[in-house]
Amino acid sequence: MKALLLAAGLGTRLRPLTDTVPKCLVPIHGVPLLDYWLRLAFAGGIQRCLLNTHWLAEKVAAHVAASPWRDRVDLVYEPELLGTGGTLLANRAWFGDGPVLVAHADNLTDFDVAAFRTAHAARPAGCAMTMLAFRTDAPGTCGILELDPLGIVRQFHEKVANPPGNLANGAVYILEPELLDAIAAASAAKASPFVDLSTEIIPAFLGRILAWETTGYHRDIGNPESLARAHEEFRPHMDAP
């Protein structure tokens, strides 16, 4: 399985730090966030990773070129951001015909990639996506999930006041090729390469998404408060690659 790690974000809420450091290279315990992701992905059986870049792209490219994973990572520069769906569609040929793992690599996590892949392989009939879920301490800032007894997503509440619970979308997915077909249709319908997965695609697949809850650590480090909490809470296990 291949993986798309979305690494093009501007990190505006982390300025002035991200004026000179790409968000995906912000360090936690001295380790760039991207390194946690690459270590996690390859340890979990991912064969190859694609990174999309935009802000300070040359620094991301230089970091990857000097990393132990450089021979297993490809980069694609986006002059204009395309949204999660748009990036998937623009690089569809790279993914091939099988399922693909997609992750917003601006979250700090230690979820079990191999177990996530196993859950997707054993998903209920009809499900075209498996979504990482986690328990959040800030449900109003997340997409909150309502599941049926089989763990299938029936309702999705994207950043609403007083959502029903704290089980949140972790912005990590395994997608079957028909999701790419839906993205292509959405892009063609509005004659735009920009497609947002959360708002334009996921609502159409309610009832066909398996949620898999991680018992590990998962936090968006996109603002100074969250980044500070990550430094306090996260206990990394960075062995040699």
Interatomic CA distance for residues 46 and 161, integer angstroms = 37
Helices (H) and strands (E) in the chain, counts: 8, 13
For the segment 130-182, what is each residue's pLDDT rounded down to a tens digit? 999 999 888 877 889 999 999 999 998 887 788 888 899 999 999 999 999 99
The DSSP bridge pattern shows strands 153-158 and 143-147 to be: antiparallel
Interatomic CA distance for residues 21 and 33, integer angstroms = 11
Q: At 214, is the pLDDT very low, low, confident or very high (cuts 50, 70, 90)?
A: very high
How much is the mean pLDDT over the chain?
A: 90
Residue 143 confidence (pLDDT): 84
Task: Name residue 134's beta-bridge partners.
Answer: 168
- pLDDT at position 239 over 50: no
Residue 234 confidence (pLDDT): 87
Task: Name residue 69's beta-bridge partners.
Answer: none
CA-closest candidate to residue 178, choices 108, 111, 88:
88
Phi, psi of 132 (to 5 degrees): -70, 135
What tokens were used for 129? Answer: 């996506």
Interatomic CA distance for residues 235 and 202, integer angstroms = 32
- Mean per-residue pLDDT, 192-205: 93
The DSSP bridge pattern shows strands 2-6 and 48-53 to be: parallel
* pTM listed for this prediction: 0.91
Domain boundaries of the chain, sorted by first residue: 2-233
Residue 105 confidence (pLDDT): 86
Interatomic CA distance for residues 194 and 186, integer angstroms = 9
CA-closest candidate to residue 120, choices 11, 44, 23, 17:
44
The identity of residue 136, as a single letter, is: T
Q: Which residues contact 182 (CB under 8 A, 6 or more apart)?
A: 201, 204, 205
What tokens were used for 203? Answer: 């609502």
**What is 2-233's CATH number, 3.90.550.10, 3.40.50.1980, 3.30.310.10, 3.90.226.10?**
3.90.550.10
- Mean per-residue pLDDT, 178-206: 94
CA-closest candidate to residue 102, choices 173, 202, 205, 196:
173
For the segment 2-47, what is each residue's pLDDT rounded down to a tens digit? 999 998 877 778 788 678 888 889 888 889 999 999 999 999 999 9
- Mean per-residue pLDDT, 55-76: 94
Residue 237 confidence (pLDDT): 62
Interatomic CA distance for residues 31 and 211, integer angstroms = 29
